[in-house]
A = this chain, B = another copy of it.
Amino acid sequence: MKILVTNDDGIYSDGIQYLVKALEKENKHEIIVVAPDREQSATGHAITLHRPLRVKEMNFEDIDSKTLAVDGTPADCVKLGVEAILDEKPDIVVSGINRGPNLGCDVLYSGTVSAGFEGLLLGIPSIAVSLATYEDWNFTYAAEFISGLVQNLNQKDLSSEVLLNINIPSLDKDELKGVKITKLGNRSYTNMFDERFDPRGEVYYWLAGDIVEEGNDEGTDVTAINQKQISITPVRLNLTDFKEIKALNEKELELF
Protein backbone atom coordinates (compact mmCIF):
# COMPACT_ATOMS: atom_id res chain seq x y z
CA MET A 1 0.00 0.00 0.00
CA LYS A 2 1.06 3.56 -0.68
CA ILE A 3 0.45 5.50 2.52
CA LEU A 4 0.57 9.26 3.01
CA VAL A 5 1.13 10.07 6.68
CA THR A 6 0.49 13.51 8.17
CA ASN A 7 -0.60 15.12 11.44
CA ASP A 8 -1.29 18.46 13.08
CA ASP A 9 1.12 18.37 16.01
CA GLY A 10 4.05 18.78 13.64
CA ILE A 11 6.65 16.47 12.20
CA TYR A 12 8.72 16.37 15.41
CA SER A 13 5.89 15.08 17.58
CA ASP A 14 6.02 11.64 19.17
CA GLY A 15 2.64 10.58 17.80
CA ILE A 16 3.60 10.68 14.13
CA GLN A 17 6.97 9.09 14.77
CA TYR A 18 5.44 6.11 16.62
CA LEU A 19 2.89 5.79 13.83
CA VAL A 20 5.45 5.77 11.02
CA LYS A 21 7.69 3.29 12.81
CA ALA A 22 4.76 0.92 13.37
CA LEU A 23 3.74 1.18 9.70
CA GLU A 24 7.34 0.60 8.59
CA LYS A 25 7.52 -2.61 10.62
CA GLU A 26 5.15 -4.28 8.16
CA ASN A 27 7.90 -3.89 5.56
CA LYS A 28 5.42 -3.91 2.70
CA HIS A 29 4.13 -0.38 2.52
CA GLU A 30 5.46 2.54 0.56
CA ILE A 31 5.24 5.35 3.07
CA ILE A 32 5.69 9.07 2.59
CA VAL A 33 5.43 11.52 5.45
CA VAL A 34 4.28 15.04 4.59
CA ALA A 35 3.61 16.93 7.79
CA PRO A 36 3.64 20.47 9.18
CA ASP A 37 7.03 21.77 10.30
CA ARG A 38 5.49 22.97 13.59
CA GLU A 39 2.36 22.51 15.69
CA GLN A 40 -0.89 23.26 13.85
CA SER A 41 -3.55 22.22 16.37
CA ALA A 42 -7.06 23.61 15.99
CA THR A 43 -6.35 24.88 12.51
CA GLY A 44 -9.49 23.18 11.25
CA HIS A 45 -9.63 22.92 7.49
CA ALA A 46 -7.49 26.01 6.92
CA ILE A 47 -5.45 26.14 3.73
CA THR A 48 -2.74 28.57 2.73
CA LEU A 49 -3.66 30.87 -0.14
CA HIS A 50 -1.77 34.09 0.45
CA ARG A 51 1.80 32.87 0.54
CA PRO A 52 3.65 30.00 -1.11
CA LEU A 53 4.57 26.79 0.72
CA ARG A 54 8.09 25.52 1.33
CA VAL A 55 9.00 21.85 1.59
CA LYS A 56 12.05 20.55 3.41
CA GLU A 57 13.33 16.97 3.41
CA MET A 58 14.01 15.69 6.92
CA ASN A 59 16.13 12.88 8.28
CA PHE A 60 15.10 11.07 11.42
CA GLU A 61 17.36 8.37 12.77
CA ASP A 62 14.71 5.67 13.23
CA ILE A 63 12.60 6.47 10.18
CA ASP A 64 13.43 5.11 6.74
CA SER A 65 10.51 6.59 4.79
CA LYS A 66 10.79 9.80 2.85
CA THR A 67 9.86 12.58 5.26
CA LEU A 68 8.93 16.11 4.22
CA ALA A 69 8.21 19.10 6.44
CA VAL A 70 5.86 21.78 5.07
CA ASP A 71 5.39 25.27 6.50
CA GLY A 72 1.62 24.97 6.20
CA THR A 73 -1.48 23.40 7.70
CA PRO A 74 -2.39 19.68 7.78
CA ALA A 75 -4.80 20.21 4.85
CA ASP A 76 -1.98 21.94 2.93
CA CYS A 77 0.26 18.92 3.55
CA VAL A 78 -2.24 16.46 2.09
CA LYS A 79 -3.07 18.69 -0.88
CA LEU A 80 0.60 19.35 -1.64
CA GLY A 81 1.64 15.75 -1.08
CA VAL A 82 -0.98 14.38 -3.45
CA GLU A 83 -0.99 17.13 -6.08
CA ALA A 84 2.64 18.23 -6.25
CA ILE A 85 4.93 15.63 -4.68
CA LEU A 86 3.62 12.11 -5.24
CA ASP A 87 3.50 10.71 -8.76
CA GLU A 88 0.30 8.83 -8.07
CA LYS A 89 -2.48 8.97 -5.51
CA PRO A 90 -1.75 7.20 -2.24
CA ASP A 91 -4.05 4.31 -1.32
CA ILE A 92 -4.73 5.86 2.04
CA VAL A 93 -4.10 8.99 4.09
CA VAL A 94 -3.32 8.36 7.75
CA SER A 95 -3.32 11.44 9.98
CA GLY A 96 -2.01 11.31 13.52
CA ILE A 97 -1.41 10.17 16.13
CA ASN A 98 -2.84 13.31 17.68
CA ARG A 99 -1.96 14.34 21.22
CA GLY A 100 -5.43 14.43 22.80
CA PRO A 101 -8.88 13.17 21.82
CA ASN A 102 -10.92 14.30 18.83
CA LEU A 103 -14.44 13.39 19.91
CA GLY A 104 -17.87 14.77 18.96
CA CYS A 105 -17.67 18.31 17.63
CA ASP A 106 -13.87 18.36 18.09
CA VAL A 107 -13.69 16.95 14.57
CA LEU A 108 -14.61 20.38 13.20
CA TYR A 109 -11.69 22.15 14.83
CA SER A 110 -9.14 19.39 14.52
CA GLY A 111 -6.30 19.75 12.05
CA THR A 112 -5.76 15.99 12.35
CA VAL A 113 -9.28 15.23 11.19
CA SER A 114 -9.24 17.95 8.52
CA ALA A 115 -6.19 16.31 6.95
CA GLY A 116 -8.37 13.22 6.62
CA PHE A 117 -11.22 15.26 5.13
CA GLU A 118 -8.77 16.67 2.60
CA GLY A 119 -7.89 13.08 1.71
CA LEU A 120 -11.58 12.34 1.05
CA LEU A 121 -11.95 15.47 -1.08
CA LEU A 122 -9.09 14.14 -3.20
CA GLY A 123 -10.82 10.76 -3.47
CA ILE A 124 -8.56 8.88 -1.04
CA PRO A 125 -9.74 6.71 1.88
CA SER A 126 -8.54 8.38 5.05
CA ILE A 127 -8.01 7.69 8.71
CA ALA A 128 -7.57 10.21 11.54
CA VAL A 129 -6.08 8.89 14.77
CA SER A 130 -6.00 10.48 18.20
CA LEU A 131 -4.68 9.36 21.56
CA ALA A 132 -7.57 10.03 23.92
CA THR A 133 -5.73 11.43 26.91
CA TYR A 134 -4.30 14.67 28.26
CA GLU A 135 -1.43 13.04 30.14
CA ASP A 136 0.53 9.78 30.37
CA TRP A 137 1.15 9.50 26.65
CA ASN A 138 1.31 5.87 25.62
CA PHE A 139 1.54 5.75 21.82
CA THR A 140 2.89 2.19 21.63
CA TYR A 141 -0.25 0.10 21.30
CA ALA A 142 -2.14 2.87 19.48
CA ALA A 143 0.50 2.84 16.72
CA GLU A 144 0.48 -0.94 16.56
CA PHE A 145 -3.33 -0.97 16.34
CA ILE A 146 -3.37 1.47 13.43
CA SER A 147 -0.72 -0.49 11.59
CA GLY A 148 -2.88 -3.61 11.93
CA LEU A 149 -6.02 -1.73 10.91
CA VAL A 150 -4.41 -0.32 7.76
CA GLN A 151 -3.34 -3.84 6.81
CA ASN A 152 -6.81 -5.20 7.49
CA LEU A 153 -8.64 -2.42 5.62
CA ASN A 154 -6.46 -3.04 2.60
CA GLN A 155 -8.27 -6.32 2.15
CA LYS A 156 -11.79 -5.00 2.76
CA ASP A 157 -12.09 -2.03 0.42
CA LEU A 158 -12.35 1.11 2.44
CA SER A 159 -14.54 3.72 0.80
CA SER A 160 -12.97 6.97 -0.32
CA GLU A 161 -16.13 8.72 0.85
CA VAL A 162 -15.73 7.77 4.49
CA LEU A 163 -13.20 9.01 6.99
CA LEU A 164 -12.55 6.76 9.95
CA ASN A 165 -12.10 8.97 13.00
CA ILE A 166 -10.31 6.82 15.55
CA ASN A 167 -9.73 7.61 19.20
CA ILE A 168 -7.56 5.27 21.23
CA PRO A 169 -7.22 5.30 25.02
CA SER A 170 -3.65 5.77 26.21
CA LEU A 171 -3.38 2.23 27.52
CA ASP A 172 -1.62 -1.04 26.85
CA LYS A 173 -3.53 -3.67 24.93
CA ASP A 174 -4.40 -5.76 27.99
CA GLU A 175 -6.05 -2.77 29.67
CA LEU A 176 -8.29 -2.02 26.69
CA LYS A 177 -11.87 -3.31 26.37
CA GLY A 178 -11.90 -3.89 22.62
CA VAL A 179 -13.09 -1.85 19.65
CA LYS A 180 -16.43 -0.11 19.15
CA ILE A 181 -17.87 1.34 15.94
CA THR A 182 -19.46 4.57 17.14
CA LYS A 183 -21.30 7.76 16.22
CA LEU A 184 -20.01 11.22 17.09
CA GLY A 185 -21.08 12.10 20.62
CA ASN A 186 -21.92 15.30 22.44
CA ARG A 187 -19.01 17.27 23.69
CA SER A 188 -19.10 20.96 24.30
CA TYR A 189 -17.11 23.55 26.20
CA THR A 190 -18.22 26.06 28.82
CA ASN A 191 -16.62 29.12 30.44
CA MET A 192 -14.78 29.54 27.25
CA PHE A 193 -12.79 32.72 27.69
CA ASP A 194 -10.48 33.84 30.43
CA GLU A 195 -10.47 37.65 30.52
CA ARG A 196 -7.14 39.10 31.65
CA PHE A 197 -5.39 42.46 31.70
CA ASP A 198 -1.88 43.07 30.44
CA PRO A 199 0.70 45.16 32.35
CA ARG A 200 -0.63 48.24 30.58
CA GLY A 201 -4.19 47.59 31.72
CA GLU A 202 -5.46 46.45 28.31
CA VAL A 203 -7.85 43.52 28.18
CA TYR A 204 -7.07 40.27 26.38
CA TYR A 205 -8.90 36.95 26.13
CA TRP A 206 -7.52 33.45 26.42
CA LEU A 207 -9.60 30.62 24.99
CA ALA A 208 -10.05 28.17 27.86
CA GLY A 209 -13.15 26.09 28.53
CA ASP A 210 -14.28 23.12 30.58
CA ILE A 211 -15.43 20.07 28.71
CA VAL A 212 -19.06 19.03 29.05
CA GLU A 213 -19.94 15.53 27.93
CA GLU A 214 -23.68 15.20 28.34
CA GLY A 215 -26.35 13.05 26.75
CA ASN A 216 -23.94 10.44 25.45
CA ASP A 217 -25.51 7.03 25.04
CA GLU A 218 -23.78 3.68 24.55
CA GLY A 219 -23.21 4.25 20.88
CA THR A 220 -21.09 7.40 21.00
CA ASP A 221 -17.35 7.89 20.72
CA VAL A 222 -17.33 9.74 24.06
CA THR A 223 -18.86 6.75 25.87
CA ALA A 224 -16.57 4.24 24.16
CA ILE A 225 -13.48 6.14 25.33
CA ASN A 226 -14.87 6.44 28.86
CA GLN A 227 -15.26 2.66 28.80
CA LYS A 228 -11.66 2.10 27.71
CA GLN A 229 -12.66 1.03 24.21
CA ILE A 230 -11.03 2.04 20.95
CA SER A 231 -13.61 4.18 19.13
CA ILE A 232 -13.94 4.11 15.33
CA THR A 233 -16.44 6.60 13.92
CA PRO A 234 -17.21 6.60 10.20
CA VAL A 235 -17.64 10.21 9.13
CA ARG A 236 -18.93 11.50 5.82
CA LEU A 237 -18.91 15.01 4.36
CA ASN A 238 -22.56 14.92 3.48
CA LEU A 239 -23.54 18.31 4.80
CA THR A 240 -26.70 19.11 2.87
CA ASP A 241 -29.79 18.82 5.04
CA PHE A 242 -32.25 17.26 2.61
CA LYS A 243 -35.18 17.31 5.03
CA GLU A 244 -34.71 21.02 5.48
CA ILE A 245 -34.74 21.59 1.71
CA LYS A 246 -38.28 20.22 1.74
CA ALA A 247 -39.20 22.17 4.86
CA LEU A 248 -37.88 25.44 3.47
CA ASN A 249 -39.74 24.94 0.22
CA GLU A 250 -42.94 24.37 2.20
CA LYS A 251 -42.44 27.39 4.45
CA GLU A 252 -43.37 29.75 1.61
CA LEU A 253 -40.84 32.34 2.61
CA GLU A 254 -41.52 35.53 0.72
CA LEU A 255 -38.00 36.05 -0.39
CA PHE A 256 -37.94 37.68 -3.74
Contact = CB atoms under 8 A, between A and B. Distances in A.
Interface of A: 39, 41-50, 52-55, 75-76, 79-80, 83-84, 105, 107-109, 114, 117, 121, 145, 148-149, 152-153, 156, 159, 162, 176, 178-179, 181-184, 188, 192-193, 195-196, 202-207, 230, 232-242, 244-245, 247-249, 251, 253-256
A162 to B, nearest CB: 5
Contact of A162 (B176, B195, B233, B241): B241
Q: Which of A48, A178, A239 counts the most B-chain CB atoms under 10 A from its CB? A: A239
The binding surface of chain A is classed by DSSP as mixed
Contact of A108 (B45, B54, B76): B45
A72 B15 CA distance: 28
A248 B206 contact: no
Contact of A45 (B44, B49, B54, B249): B44
Contact of A248 (B47, B52, B53, B181): B181
A148 B237 contact: no
A107 B239 contact: yes
Contact of A53 (B45, B205, B237, B245): B205
A46 B75 CA distance: 12
Closest 3 A/B residue pairs (Cβ): A44-B45, A234-B244, A236-B241
